[in-house]
Amino acid sequence: MGPYGQQPGYGYPGGPTVPMPAQPGQPGGGGRNNTAMVIIVAAVVAIALIVGGGIWYAKSSGGDGKKDETASSSGGKGGTDGKDDTSGGTSSGSKEKVPSDPASKLLFQVDMPQTKDTVVTSGSWLTNSVYAKSGVAEIVGYNPAAGTKMWTLKLPGPVCTASKHVTEDNKTAVVFQPKMPKKGSSEGCSQVAAIDLDKGTRIWTKTVKNGDYTANLQNVTVSQHTVAVGSSNGGAAFDIGTGKVLWQPKPEDTCEDAGYGGGPKLVAVRKCGSYGERQLHIQTIDPTSGKVISDYKMTAGIEYAGIVSTDPLVVAADVGDSADDGSGISDYFSIDNKTGKLLTRISAPSDTYSGRCDSITRVEDCREVVAGNGRLYVPTEEHDGDGDYSKTNEIVVFDLATGKQTGQRAEAGDGYTLSPLRMDGGNLIAYKHPPYNKGGQIVTLGGPSFKATTLLENPATEDVRRAETTMLPEYAEILYGQGRLYMSAVYAHKTTYGKEYLLLAFGAGG
């Protein structure tokens, strides 16, 4: 499927009807100034929306952000720097503890909002006190265990894109339309706002001017205390607490920031030249001043690049348009943050390896590939398993200094497929998409043997399993933290194939 082959609502013929608990109710230069058929139909709808209004969704998987800088959306507040930690887990620095019984139960669910048109619902975040999820022109904060509504933040129009990163004090950012659009149209993605996830409030709302015009914003990220947005006319940045403008595009600039990767560091994908003659620069920049710290000049002819991670700095690109599966990846580039020197280039042919980056406008939207602990974790493409009609795959590991495989390899098991989600200290957290008669699993992989330890296994009852398997890791937002798994859709739409869900939450019992 091509880079815009999203799956609005994740419905399919005979979609799931799950016997779940009742829906929980709501309680009482120096700076930048220099600077299946349903799936097929859904893909067509998504392309039309993107072309018409620049609509975009954010990836959910987190990184390995440091504790004093940024909390990963996937792992709850406070990332890990990989140093020794005796608080639990299966490897140095790990935060996620292995339960005595990984068997999970469904904690709560939210029904798919009924709409007349396809509406973006991208954005989900997990902190120590709240799980927040975008709905139709709103963001709702839920109790992470009980699912009761803690707050509802109404927006004037639908969300276009959302940062995956959360600051140490639980702030993040979204881009949204200024009002509800008419069916089949868009009002443009012109509004960027900082969100306080503790209070459920908008801290500020801004637009970006490009001369006399208001820019259509294509991506947003958060790094430390900076909100950075990219557009086709260059990037801008704001202080997340005050909304103070840190930098913004100038019409006379001959190069512009197409977008940014956030988290522990801020990295810009800077474009110079026109299409067909483009030169890309991967720049680590100071989040407050925009000053360039390091600059890596990519090979001429590479039109787009996706940021897998900012620390370690890894970008992905489709060199020579050789990735014919729409993944957007043929090679990974491991770059030194301080010097801008290329450490190694890792070839990852799309007919062998999975993972995808939708980096034409999305820059930071790389899925199912994770960098951390000095390594790059990449899934293989699905291939035949041992059983009849079964599929499976593996995760292989590359050294980010040498580009060579480390020899570590994790097999999904017959009928399962593995998708890397995020780092947990020195361990990798991965999701195992299940076969037809099992529930999905969350596993942690670490140590020299790269052995998988199960953290959570979902119910294998047919209705729950069918609901879970609509949340495909290629498209859905999947967050795991504090022993709980949250799976959510990035589009709401008029349901025609039975019961569908905006989000599902699972928790282990032991």
Tens digit of pLDDT at every position of the chain (510 positions): 333 233 333 333 233 334 343 333 333 333 444 433 333 333 333 333 333 333 222 333 333 333 333 333 333 333 333 333 323 334 568 899 999 999 999 999 999 998 989 999 999 999 999 999 999 999 999 999 999 999 999 999 999 999 999 999 999 999 999 999 998 899 999 999 999 999 999 999 999 998 788 999 999 999 999 999 999 889 999 999 999 999 998 877 889 999 999 999 999 999 998 877 889 999 999 999 999 999 999 998 899 999 999 999 999 999 876 656 667 899 999 999 999 999 999 999 989 999 999 888 899 999 999 999 999 999 999 998 887 778 999 999 999 999 999 999 999 999 999 999 999 999 999 999 999 999 999 999 998 899 999 999 999 999 999 999 999 999 999 999 999 999 999 999 887 777 899 999 999 875
At residue 495, the pLDDT reads 75
- Other beta carbons within 10 Å of 219: 29
Judge whether 140 and 151 are in contact, CB under 8 Å: yes
At residue 129, the pLDDT reads 96
Return d(Cα 388, Cα 386) in angstroms, integer: 7
- pTM score: 0.84
Return d(Cα 292, Cα 35) in angstroms, integer: 10
Q: Which class for 24: exposed (0-12), middle (13-18), buried (19 or more C-beta within 10 A)?
A: middle
Residue 54, helix vs strand vs coil: coil
Query: Any idea which residue has 């091509």 for tokens?
Result: 2
* Structure token digits, residue 8: 């609005």
Of 363, 328, 334, the residue nearest 346 (C-alpha): 334
At residue 92, the pLDDT reads 64
Could you report the per-residue pLDDT of 362-374, keeping only the tens digit for each?
A: 999 999 999 999 9
Query: Any idea which residue has 């067509």 for tokens?
Result: 44
Q: How many residues appear in the chain?
A: 510
Judge whether 71 and 168 are in contact, CB under 8 Å: yes
| Side-chain half-sphere CA neighbours of 404 within 13 A | 3
Q: Which class for 212: exposed (0-12), middle (13-18), buried (19 or more C-beta within 10 A)?
A: exposed
Q: Which residues pair with 151 in a beta bridge?
A: 141
Q: Which residues pair with 334 in a beta bridge?
A: 314, 344
At residue 324, the pLDDT reads 60
Judge whether 123 and 140 are in contact, CB under 8 Å: no
Q: Where are the beta strands (DSSP E) in 311-393?
A: 313-317, 331-335, 342-347, 356-357, 366-367, 370-372, 375-379, 383-384, 391-392
Of 301, 367, 319, 269, the residue nearest 1 (C-alpha): 367
Residue 503 makes CB contacts below 8 A (sequence gap 6+) with 109, 110, 124, 133, 486, 487, 488, 489
What is the maximum span of the chain, computed from C-alpha positions, in angstroms? Answer: 62
